[in-house]
Amino acid sequence: PSVPVLTIDGPSGSGKGTISALVAERLGWRLLDSGALYRAVGYAAGMAGLDLSDVEAMTRCAHSTKIQFRAAPDGGETRVIVNGHDATDELRTETAGAAASAIASMPTVREALVALQLGFRKAPGLVADGRDMGTVIFPDAAFKVFLTASAAERAKRRYKQLKEKGLSVTLGGLQREIEARDNRDASRAVAPLKPAEDALLVDTTGMSIDQVVAKVLAVVQP
């Protein structure tokens, strides 16, 4: 039998990242943070001084960027190493998110990252976090969840998260950036942000992290 996959898709600030990490830990499964791949390519392109709207350059960059995930020794946040440089802090900024979203609309950039993502599927199982995990990358996944939350709640969560990390942001500005990014992600021609037909939709507005984790775990272990 093939290695089981749980896909967790949804817009930014829906809690995907947090929930995926907790659920993967509880199941003892591997984790794929696919958003980090797009962020890493955008970051590498910026470091190389490339034009983010140049499809050929971005596609080459997606093929050549070396991305590694390294577990923190203290059990803390997983580090993302891009071309040998620890870019974890730079990758979580809204600027990196916007760059990721821009290049993620390019079909050839997406294709360049497919094999890498499929490679994460290893025993005993995989939790895959992203926008198109259940629709494009792992359409055969046994378990699929689509997380949502109201735009206001998502902006609030993101605001708290970035503040805690010491970044300077405003709630209004963040809400506008998040809405712009979601609109672009949902309206693009390739792999748009949308729930797989067989995904369980969970609106997390007003739910605690523990409640969402329990609900998602129940999909895998009824």
Q: Which residues bind ligand C5P (CB under 6 A)?
A: 12, 34-35, 38-39, 97, 100-101, 104, 130-132, 181, 185
Q: Is 46 annotated as a binding residue?
A: no
Give residues with Cβ within 8 angstroms of 197, minimum separation 6: none
Q: Is 17 annotated as a binding residue?
A: yes
Nearer to ligand C5P, 27 or 181 (CB): 181
The minimum distance between CB 14 and ligand C5P, in angstroms, equals 9
The structure tokens listed for 72 are 């923190």
The minimum distance between CB 210 and ligand C5P, in angstroms, equals 22
- How many distinct helices (H) and strands (E) make up the chain? 10, 8
Biggest distance spanned by C-alpha atoms of the chain: 49
Q: Is 18 annotated as a binding residue?
A: yes
Q: Is 187 annotated as a binding residue?
A: no
Nearer to ligand C5P, 27 or 34 (CB): 34
Nearer to ligand C5P, 40 or 213 (CB): 40
The minimum distance between CB 83 and ligand C5P, in angstroms, equals 18
Burial label for 54, CB within 10 Å (0-12, 13-18, 19+), is middle
Distances (CA, A) of 103 to 10, 38, 58, 109: 18, 7, 7, 7
The minimum distance between CB 26 and ligand C5P, in angstroms, equals 21
Alpha carbons 23 and 88: distance in angstroms, whole number: 21
Q: Binding site residues for ATP, as ranges?
A: 10-18
